[in-house]
Amino acid sequence: PIISIMSPKLSSPDLPLNVQSLISQAKDLFEKSFGDDDEQAKRTNLPIHCASAPGRVNLIGEHTDYTGGYVLPLAIGYNTVCYGRGGIVKYSGPTASNICRIVSTNNSIVEFNVSPSLSPSSTNKWINYVQGVMLQYLPDLKTEETFVLDMAIAGDVPLGSGLSSSASLEVATAVFLESIMEQHDDDVAYSSGATKTTNMSPKEVKMERAVRCQRAENVFCNVPCGIMDQFVSSAGCHEKLLLIDCRSLDFREVSMGSDGDNSEIDAPVLVVANSNVTHDLGAGEYPIRVRQCKEATEILSKVNPRIQSLRDVSMDDIDDAVSLAGLEGVLLQRARHVVSENKRTVETSDALERGDWEMVGRFMNESHSSMKNDYEVSCDEIDLLVELAQNFDGVYGSRLTGGGFGGCTVTLVEKECAGRLMHYLIREYEKKTGKKCTCFETSPGDGAKAISV
């Protein structure tokens, strides 16, 4: 059957209040930045497009995605919105008629032409996340065609917090481009084979979008991330976490307590605490962890030839590699974390659906200990927030969420205790560190959307 590659567009009144506010901010910024200039006057025939994509919190399954493992994230209510005019035009070289102009609430206007020769910016690194995604969609157009757009960006995902502001921007940009392509006269959609007239399911569209956005970050932004962040931003589901197999890209929606005796009324909630210690995953320790996992895999494959990544490794394999192949030190620690984290993640998804909150909390605490001691991606501020939460009445478990080196913690806590916990964390964190901590309660939300404005 003939299907649209896009889900039906939502109108603004159907959206959460914060997304409505972001749309207003992006629209105002667009009109302020582009509304009165001569070039915009020539582009009034181009339709208005709008897209949003959420950040994410990972309940468990950290630093497993880039080795093909399991993750268990949820989309959250913080979003990035892209608003503007866009179309597909014939490319006639770097001229004003096919220039792209992007502005955000945090950055001034950046201008560029989209062509295969486009290279990353060293001065405006934020724009690389937009440009990288555009280059992923450029091969879908005819050889002589390119994108032209004026786009304003507004977002409320805290930057550098481990809540995936970069993936949120990438996926919102992707949906914006797909909206442009959807309205284009020609039958053009995905170079991988999907077009307006092919039977590509919504699930496959979300997966393809995530792959492209991850590739943009890997190749154009030089960040060797896995696919989790882009995947859940693209495919998130209201009231469901996603258990994602990062090798096959298949996923299963996971409810909290749906299979057990505990009703949803009794279900605990998730509290996120932002240490306000920011990180930059493109530099420093993150690429080192990726390399260390590859080196550990090489040693393990000498003991067991079937091993292609740490996803294939068991604790018995690790024991064998220690005794037979000299796996030791830092590489042993990294492998031990990933292998144990994969097992915890799958078991946590089962415990969630049973409503076994004590078991979920135990796995979360074990995960943090492993990330702190074996993977060494925590920091003093994060460890303090985790310790404070783990010793608070009504808390089942707490851990670092995200890539680490700062960022946020996620805590599973009884609903009636959540407010007191947040006040306690804010007070004690400032008392002990002199820094401000921000907290919010969250639940699983929807993924990316095209918006009718």
Longest dimension (CA), the chain: 71
Helices (H), 220-354: 228-235, 285-303, 315-324, 329-354
- Cβ pair 450, 7 in contact under 8 A: yes
Give the active site residues: 229
Of how many residues is the chain composed? Answer: 453
26 φ/ψ angles, rounded to the nearest 5 degrees:
-65, -40
Helical packing angle, 357-373 and 380-390, nearest 10°: 160
Helices (H), 148-201: 165-183
**Which uninterrupted H or E stretch holds 384?**
helix 380-390
* Token duo for residue 355: 């409503």
The CA distance from 327 to 219, in Å, is 31
* Token duo for residue 219: 């190749």
Residues sharing a CB contact under 8 Å with residue 23, sequence separation 6 or more, in sequence order: 12, 15, 50, 52, 81, 83, 154, 451, 453
**Which uninterrupted H or E stretch holds 401?**
strand 395-401
**Single-letter amino acid code for the residue at 180:** I
What radius of gyration do the chain's Cα atoms show? 22
Alpha carbon of residue 160 to chain centroid? 12
* Token duo for residue 382: 């994060």
The CA distance from 71 to 452, in Å, is 32
DSSP for 317-341, written as a single string: HHHHHHHHS---HHHHHHHHHHHHH
